Chains A and B, each alone.
Chain A
Amino acid sequence: MLKELVTPQNANVFVGKLGDILYKAIDKPLGMAIDWGRMWSLWPVHIETACCSVEFGAASGPRYDVERFGIIEAFGSLRQCDLVVVQGTITRKMAPRLRLVYDQMPDPKYVIAMGACAITGGLYFDSYNVLPGIDGILPVDVYVPGCPPRPETLIQGCMLLQEKIKRMKAR
């Protein structure tokens, strides 16, 4: 009977439902543990979009060392990542690519908008080729203001994100 119900066409629906049930069962007792795991191993995608990437690089350097807060240096492939740090200006040429990168990442995924440019367009508010902020293309979790933000500010933004993850329900 199960064979008739589950055809190759709808098999993934059932798998998904099963997953949901599993999540529900796990959420109560293990949600904390899952969140804790996500909090301390955020993998940022290696995507540089503008000059804020200099300060991002400085933040992973020895003096500021974001790694001690659980933000791993941006080295991995984007299929293993769960954090996009949008490092500055998004131009009209870059915007579709950024969305493409975001779409390819597995859930759950978080977005940090770094720098005035990523938040509102910043200095380039009236330029013809710059998006006025990335809210139109990505759901942003944390905004980190500054032009460029100091590494300390970025670290604080990352810690805010961790706080947010801690209070989220594990999905």
Chain B
Amino acid sequence: MSSTDSKSDTSKEKPAPPKPAAEKPAPPKPAAEKPAPPKPEETLPAFEKELTDRIVNQFSGDAEVGYVKENRTRINVKKEKILDVAKFIKDQTPFDHAESVSGVDFPEDNEIEVVYHLGSYTDNRYSKQVLALSTRAPREDVPNPGNDSTKLPSLRDVFYSVEFHERECFEMLGVHFEGHPDNRRLLLPEDWADLPPLRKDFKNKGR
């Protein structure tokens, strides 16, 4: 196959999508618009505090502030409301993608926590910020991934980038994401029949 052929064919088959709209002008240089507040004890960073307050006030009672640190904020949400909060964040704040989804097992609380770390590419003032959005699902001692009560609504329709992260979380901790189109194994072998490995009661051999 000659390479020039392939080029012209492809362009015929699949016309190149229109160039990105100009609504997101790439800012030329990182501007230090947000002067990092000097960190005296006690006072919380103002910018981050305002951000979390905006979200928490909207969902008073269902969401609470986990912590507010410089550039890092965290919001804990009840699992029924997680989809609404995520939609609100997507629409009303510049956070536009998820960087990581970490599942954490808490056997003492009988809960499994899922933390979405959200970041922003579009807004320069928010490019330093990482918002951790966390929620908790009930945990069962004898897991049966997919068929027990360890379920959470999937955020894939809101933040598309969580797709593979949620699949990984499903196999590693047994959290079934409802609404996820593709809850399959990702990393583990096809014949894995043990506990989900990142649960605390799964022990590495010899440890």
A residues sitting closer than 8 Å to B (CB atoms) are 91-93, 125-129
Contacts and interface: CB of A to CB of B under 8 A. Distances in A.
A32 B65 CA distance: 78
A92 B194 CA distance: 13
Interface residues of B, number: 10
Interface in B153-207: 188-190, 194, 197, 202, 204-207
Nearest to B190: A93
Given A128-B202, A129-B189, 11 more contacts: A91-B189, A93-B189, A126-B204, A126-B205, A126-B206, A126-B207, A127-B204, A128-B197, A128-B204, A129-B188, A129-B197
Contacts of A91: 189
Chain A interface mostly: loop
Nearest to A93: B189
B14 to A, nearest CB: 31
B188 A93 contact: yes
Nearest to B204: A126
Contacts of A93: 188-190
B25 to A, nearest CB: 40
15 contacts: A91-B189, A92-B189, A93-B188, A93-B189, A93-B190, A126-B204, A126-B205, A126-B206, A127-B204, A128-B197, A128-B202, A128-B204, A129-B188, A129-B189, A129-B197
Contacts of B205: 126, 128
B196 to A, nearest CB: 11
Nearest to A125: B206
B171 to A, nearest CB: 12
Contacts of B194: 128
Contacts of B202: 128
A93 to B, nearest CB: 4
Contacts of A127: 204
A129 B194 CA distance: 11
A125 B204 CA distance: 10
Interface string B64-87: 000000000000000000000000
A127 B202 CA distance: 11
Q: Which 8 A-B pairs have the closest CB atoms?
A: A93-B189, A126-B204, A92-B189, A126-B206, A128-B197, A126-B207, A126-B205, A128-B204
Contacts of A125: 206
A129 B186 CA distance: 14
A153 to B, nearest CB: 28
B192 to A, nearest CB: 8
Contacts of B190: 93
B202 to A, nearest CB: 7
Nearest to B191: A92
Nearest to B197: A128
Nearest to A124: B204
Nearest to B195: A128
A127 B197 CA distance: 10
Nearest to B202: A128
